[in-house]
């Protein structure tokens, strides 16, 4: 979601999952030793990765995991998301996926939502998530975003990583490790997780008769539409000219090695909606990025003609 901090664990074998919204901020400062001087519980995946627990965002995440669990149950999935702050995390029960609210030091390279290496659990960083959403959804022309339903989709994506045994993301001393992971592998794992999540939404949204389950799926679907719209508004209004030029800071990750989060949101939205409008938003993004790839001038000059 950047110098693409790709989770790594064991030199390339372990991680690649660039999780939804890998909004990574480049650190200009040295990471402080978060755990220094404190007793780190070795059975606590949060402190083990150099992160801190936070109570921020618990309400939103509680709604999100309830929403995601409705759809997981609908497809007969063995997985259920549980809040680590209201129940004791059961890391030994494979079907339970504890969700931890985490934070790290300012400017750390991080991501809003991730499955860390070595744990079938999910980290949600509410500060990073809020910051990423604010970029897309604050300002003129934007629609109010249903954050719990957007986060529900992200959580389904993370469950997809666990279900498909994708490599987790490596955090070291509170910051995502950066490794040279094969971009094509990372992209495939991200798309796999996106397709896992979208299929669950579609199963409830399209194949179910009207019910509380299909309504939940439609709320998630609507959140994806809203975010896709807001992303387009952000590029058109806040970043005027970026689409024509394929501005790299808008259409690419800082270090190009990661699957692009913005693209994946639009791709997932298209999978869920299957409409010409959703395809147009995706096409617009891809065409602009293509222009940015070639570094071609905005206008071709044919002076010899
Ligand atoms: Zn992911």
pLDDT tens digits, one per residue of 153-179: 999 999 999 999 887 787 877 888 755
User: What is the value of pTM for the model shown?
Assistant: 0.79
Distance of CA 37 from the midpoint of ligand 1 (Å): 32
Measured in Å, residue 276 CA sits from the centre of ligand 1 at 26
Distance 114 CA to ligand 1 centre (A): 7
Percent of the chain with pLDDT over 90: 44
pLDDT at res. 244: 65
Q: Three-state SS for 260?
A: coil
Q: How many whole angstroms from 19 Cα to the centroid of ligand 1? A: 3
CA of 2 to the centre of ligand 1 (A): 15
pLDDT in tens, 67-117: 999 999 999 999 999 999 998 877 777 789 999 999 998 878 888 899 998
| Distance from the alpha carbon of residue 17 to the mean position of ligand 1, in angstroms | 5
Alpha helix (H) residue ranges in the chain: 45-48, 58-74, 126-137, 147-163, 183-205, 212-233, 242-245, 248-251, 261-273, 276-294
How many C-beta neighbours within 10 Å does residue 230 have?
Answer: 21
Kindly give the distance from the C-alpha atom of residue 300 to the centroid of ligand 1, in angstroms, as a whole number: 39
pLDDT at 22 over 70: no
Distance 296 CA to ligand 1 centre (A): 31
Tens digit of pLDDT for each residue in 207-261?
Answer: 778 899 999 999 999 999 999 999 888 887 777 676 666 666 666 655 433 457 7
> Mean pLDDT over residues 135-152, rounded?
91
* pLDDT above 50 for 16: no
87 C-alpha to ligand 1 centroid (Å): 25
Question: Residue 120 has what DSSP assignment?
Answer: S
């Amino acid at each position: 979601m950047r110098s693409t901090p790709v989770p790594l664990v064991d030199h390339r074998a372990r991680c690649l999952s660039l999780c939804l919204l890998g909004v990574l901020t480049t650190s200009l400062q040295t990471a402080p030793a978060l755990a220094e001087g404190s007793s780190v519980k070795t059975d606590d995946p949060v402190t083990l990765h150099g992160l801190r627990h936070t109570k921020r965002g618990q309400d939103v995440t509680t709604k999100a995991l309830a929403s995601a669990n409705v759809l997981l149950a609908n497809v007969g999935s063995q997985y259920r998301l549980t809040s680590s702050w209201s129940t004791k995390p059961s890391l030994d029960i494979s079907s339970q996926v504890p969700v931890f609210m985490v934070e790290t030091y300012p400017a750390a390279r991080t991501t809003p939502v991730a499955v860390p290496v070595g744990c079938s659990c999910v980290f949600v960083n509410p500060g990073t998530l809020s910051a990423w959403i604010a970029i897309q959804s604050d300002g003129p022309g934007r629609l109010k975003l249903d954050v719990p339903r957007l986060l529900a989709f992200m959580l389904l994506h993370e469950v997809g990583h666990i279900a498909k045994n994708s490599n987790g993301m490596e955090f070291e001393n509170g910051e995502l490790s950066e490794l040279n992971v094969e971009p094509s592998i990372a992209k495939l794992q991200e798309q796999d997780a996106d397709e896992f999540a979208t299929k669950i939404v579609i199963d409830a949204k399209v194949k179910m008769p009207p019910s509380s389950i299909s309504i939940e799926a439609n709320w998630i679907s609507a959140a994806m539409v809203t975010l896709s719209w807001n992303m387009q508004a952000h590029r058109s209004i806040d970043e005027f000219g970026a689409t024509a030029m394929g501005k790299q800071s808008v259409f690419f990750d800082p270090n190009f090695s990661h699957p692009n989060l913005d693209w994946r949101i639009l791709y997932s939205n298209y999978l869920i909606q299957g409409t010409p409008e959703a395809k147009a938003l995706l096409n617009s993004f891809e065409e602009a990025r293509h222009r940015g790839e070639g570094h071609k001038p905005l206008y071709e000059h044919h002076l010899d003609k």
